A and B are shown apart, each in its own frame.
Chain A
């Protein structure tokens, strides 16, 4: 409790206080119940808020689609290679976040393999802009997906790993083909992992700014970039604090809706 109070409640309270201040950097800020900060933030930065949710959402879906088969395969077919395969998923984490993101600058370079291949497949016009992938939304989503993939894959693996294979065998013996057994037994039992994975991916992704900063172009900034520049470049602390709160509120709302849909027991049942 004390831990929560010191590291969570106090900073949050201070941020809330700051978000209701007005003034400017030359003469200092004063607390004035300036609710206007919130309205201005929503009015001026609606696009970036929506974009953040959109990019984080797409990245979460892609990460899920990529991770689930991988986690499934490791859990049920990994055998004695399980630990090594898991290590492979975590391995990129031994490299710093910034470098991992910068690597995508090279991967998606205009003269690189990826862009050439997409060009040959005539997909460059769909995914890119003026013949480049870097500095577009596609690059930002790719970076986010890559950076948060392990947050998705590991919880999925844990919940898949815990499934008793005899349950699946029983289903297959009694009534189901492989697909029905998966849909009726395996997938429902892995739901706690799905919920944990999507939340662990979506929440930090929505507040990310490094990917948009390094891989994005002029129209791809996320709300994290705006908050960063308000805090560090304009020294406009109240607006930045207000935006942080709005982002937090938006994410909480999303999580609430999500919990309503999949059921709260899946949230609490995630003993990861």
Chain B
């Protein structure tokens, strides 16, 4: 058993070291104890010298000319805290298994003060369940008042004691308007005989299930065996009958643009990238899903400094620039959905086309139709196995 674990840990480390062979990666690795070290936290009101921040790629405003991150430079100027910003998260499972779990399960610090995990995957919930996240210092985050309403009470962290959203994306239906009448509901997507064999369903359990449960009139935030079975059987039936052509990740994009697909369950962020005038994205009639990448402080991280940073990005003006960028200063934005009220107003000033793009700054009406998926269901082995058997049928 011990032999087994050490071997697997070794393999993971070996794999992980591949991604460490970059300068920022090495810096992050060396800066191991740089946060505050140790397993226990001490909440002080003193800013650390450096904030160690792990994030996903292309997830920060960037100056195209000198390749800096303007909002991080500004943070450093304002607070005197240097940000060690590393883009070393490519998927939740990989990051959790290689960077978080090995250290945290032994009571060691991960060397990181902020990490970003997605709420529609099991690992964010797992971090909280294991007690591997520090409580936020809310006294240092007065800007938490700007958090949009739909994000205030997620099932995995009902009072937002441990996590704050970084960015979100929406799941809905995209259709090719030259090939079909508008497809505005799951009923239509799964039931319209004209669409038989011309649609795809997402292979992500949270996204697909949320949309179908809403269509069934069930609450995706509180999954029971009954609502699960109803939604599962509906998808299975659509799959068995040939209505659903295949289960996809974001590889539904090219066939949708090419016209092989008439409609698809789709992520809002993919559509601006396809840049096809024929493709329309909309929130289904019964509601859509919203997924959110959440910041959290892993055990041993510097709570105060991380909280001060979170407060900084929840300033609508800062968030507006991060989101939309500023063409006049060569700054490219994040272009996902910001969780901060008032960011849109500033985004319009910095970059009007982005600031008024409804896929990046959805209206309150759209956001109110968005739902979160039950995190407990994402950790239910029975559901996970059932789902995986369906999509690899």
Contact = CB atoms under 8 A, between A and B. Distances in A.
Contacts of B5: 28
A216 to B, nearest CB: 7
Contacts of A219: 239-240, 393
Contacts of B385: 234, 236
Nearest to B97: A235
Given A110-B260, A218-B245, A29 B197 contact: no
A29 B392 CA distance: 24
A24 interface: yes
Given A44-B389, A218-B246, A226-B392, A235 B197 contact: no
B193 to A, nearest CB: 10
A135 interface: yes
Given A135-B245, A233-B388, A105 B1 contact: no
Nearest to B196: A130
Given A105-B254, A111-B258, A235-B93, 8 more contacts: A28-B1, A48-B392, A111-B259, A132-B245, A217-B246, A218-B393, A226-B392, A233-B388
B93 A105 contact: no
Q: Secondary structure at chain B's binding surface: helix, strand, loop or mixed? A: helix
11 contacts: A28-B1, A30-B1, A110-B260, A134-B260, A218-B242, A218-B245, A218-B246, A218-B393, A219-B240, A225-B392, A233-B93
A31 interface: yes
Contact of B126 (A26, A111, A232): A26
A218 B247 contact: yes
A129 B388 contact: no
Interface of B: 1, 4-5, 93, 97, 126, 196-198, 239-240, 242, 244-247, 251, 254-255, 258-260, 381, 384-385, 388-389, 391-393
Contacts of B93: 232-233, 235
Contacts of A28: 1, 5
Nearest to A212: B392
A221 B392 contact: yes
Interface in A8-46: 24, 26, 28-31, 44
Contacts of B242: 129-130, 217-218
A131 interface: yes
Interface string A206-236: 0000000010111101000110011011111
A132 B247 contact: no
Nearest to A222: B392
A219 B196 CA distance: 15
A109 interface: yes
A26 to B, nearest CB: 7
Nearest to B244: A218
Given A110-B259, A110-B260, A234 B1 contact: no
A130 B388 CA distance: 25
A228 to B, nearest CB: 8
Given A28-B5, A31-B1, A132-B260, A217 B392 contact: no
Contacts of A232: 93
Given A130-B197, A134-B260, A229 B246 contact: no
Contact of A109 (B245, B247, B260, B381): B260
A132 B255 CA distance: 12
A216 B198 CA distance: 14
A223 B196 CA distance: 26
Contacts of A111: 258-260
A226 B390 CA distance: 10
B392 A132 contact: no
Nearest to A30: B1
A221 B388 contact: no
B74 to A, nearest CB: 39
Contact of B197 (A47, A132, A230): A132
A180 B160 CA distance: 82
A236 B389 CA distance: 13
B258 A109 contact: yes
Contacts of B389: 44
A24 B379 CA distance: 11
A183 to B, nearest CB: 44
A54 to B, nearest CB: 15
A131 B261 CA distance: 12
A129 B385 CA distance: 28
Contacts of A105: 254-255
Interface string A131-146: 1101100000000000
A105 B253 CA distance: 13
Interface string A155-196: 000000000000000000000000000000000000000000
A226 B97 CA distance: 21
B388 A29 contact: no
Contacts of A233: 93, 388
Contacts of B392: 48, 221, 225-226, 229
Contacts of B246: 135, 216-218
A24 B381 contact: yes
Nearest to A29: B4
Contacts of A216: 246
Contacts of B245: 132, 134-135, 217-218
Nearest to B236: A218
A131 B247 contact: no
Contact of A221 (B259, B260, B393): B393
Contacts of B244: 218
From A48, A110, A232, residue with most partner B Cβ within 10 Å:
A110
A235 B96 CA distance: 12
